[in-house]
Amino acid sequence: MSVFNPTDEIVIRPNQSWLRIDWRGLLKYRDLVMLMVRRDFIARYKQTILGPAWFVINPVLTSLTFTLVFSRVLGVSTSGVPPVLFYLSGMLGWSYFSNLMHTTSSALLTNASLFGKVYFPRLIVPISMSISSCIAFAIQLCTLLAVVAFHSLTGRYDADWGRIGLALLILPTVVLHTAMLALGVGLSLASITVKYRDFQHLVTFLLQIWMYLTPVIFPFSRIQARFPDHAWLAALNPMSAIVENIRSLFFGLPGMPSSYMALSIGVAVTLFTFGVLMYQRTARTFIDTV
């Protein structure tokens, strides 16, 4: 029988492998995922008068502002779709992406006190954030459908409900595509922010610039018509394909060419893989230096 020697040293160090993901732990702590989803959803609008109604108010007010400024004043074409519907559909994909990227970019720092007290798989935090963002996405989707129904009933737009029904069946794949892109960028930024806090202040600015480089305000077809030789530059933005294809699904507008769509998916998968592995490596040791 072995005897413990007080002079022996037991060193506990985290696994540094980039490829090790605790899948069993994720399943074991699935109840914690739902608790954190509830926490994130409630905390976002805690002590506000309107509460979750802000999920509806924000995109509606933004869409009305875009309608007034870009459609009425500047005369930006919306390809035959009522401007409010055009901008609401654009904000549907963009809001999910920006919300998820913004929250995950600070996932390590905002949960440092929790990570320092108890062990659980660190990927549970971004997973719960992506699910809570899906709830906001669902609320905004219902808002879009309600506005489409209003325009249809008042004769302002002839909605193709068969197309919209098919779009709802395909939409989960678009959400998955968007989530992979947002998590890839957000988790990469979360890993960098642990060491360089300056990136915390750059995320909001980055998202603002990114939105104006994405065809949320104007259709991609306008870029192709005005800059036919340089349209591929806009297609390098992986969010362009996502926003354009949401409009294509719901309103039958021309979608992005399949080659650009494949490029967007490839970029999303690559960034997601890199972001998860980088986050995993950083999460194992960052609590010692925060």
**pLDDT at residue 242, as a whole number:** 93
Say if 104 falls within a structural domain. yes
Residue predicted with more confidence, 4 or 51: 51
- The H-assigned helical ranges of 213-288 are 220-226, 231-235, 238-251, 258-283
Q: What pTM was estimated for this model as a whole? A: 0.84
**pLDDT at residue 77, as a whole number:** 76
**pLDDT at residue 265, as a whole number:** 93
* Tally of domains within the chain: 1
224 Cβ contact list (under 8 Å, min separation 6): 231
Say if 13 falls within a structural domain. no
Say if 35 falls within a structural domain. no
Residue whose pair of structure tokens reads 């914690």 in the numeric block:
32
For residue range 107-154, list pLDDT tens digits in order: 888 777 777 777 777 888 888 888 888 888 998 999 999 999 998 888
**pLDDT at residue 141, as a whole number:** 92
Q: What's at 278, amino acid-wise?
A: M
In this structure, the dihedral spanned by the alpha carbons of residues 174, 180, 183 and 184, taken in order and rounded to 10 degrees, is -140
The pLDDT of residue 182 is above 70: yes
**pLDDT at residue 194, as a whole number:** 80
Say if 26 falls within a structural domain. no
d(CA 22, CA 284) in angstroms, rounded, equals 12
Say if 266 falls within a structural domain. yes
- CB burial string 214-231: b at 16+ within 10 A, e below: bbbbbbbbbbbeeeeeeb
Say if 45 falls within a structural domain. no
Q: Which two tokens stand for residue 239?
A: 């969010």
d(CA 229, CA 238) in angstroms, rounded, equals 19
How much is the mean pLDDT over the chain?
81
Say if 108 falls within a structural domain. yes
The pLDDT of residue 2 is above 90: no
d(CA 268, CA 274) in angstroms, rounded, equals 10
The pLDDT of residue 42 is above 80: no
Residue 272 banded pLDDT, cuts 50, 70, 90:
very high
d(CA 190, CA 196) in angstroms, rounded, equals 10
The pLDDT of residue 35 is above 90: no
Segment 255-259 mean pLDDT: 82
Residue predicted with more confidence, 27 or 18: 27
**pLDDT at residue 19, as a whole number:** 58
Phi, psi of 284 (to 5 degrees): -75, -20
Range of the domain at 128: 52-221+228-286
Say if 39 falls within a structural domain. no
H or E segment to which residue 56 belongs: helix 54-66
H or E segment to which residue 211 belongs: helix 198-212
The pLDDT of residue 91 is above 70: yes
- CB burial string 130-158: b at 16+ within 10 A, e below: bbbbbebbeebbebbbebbeebeeeeebe
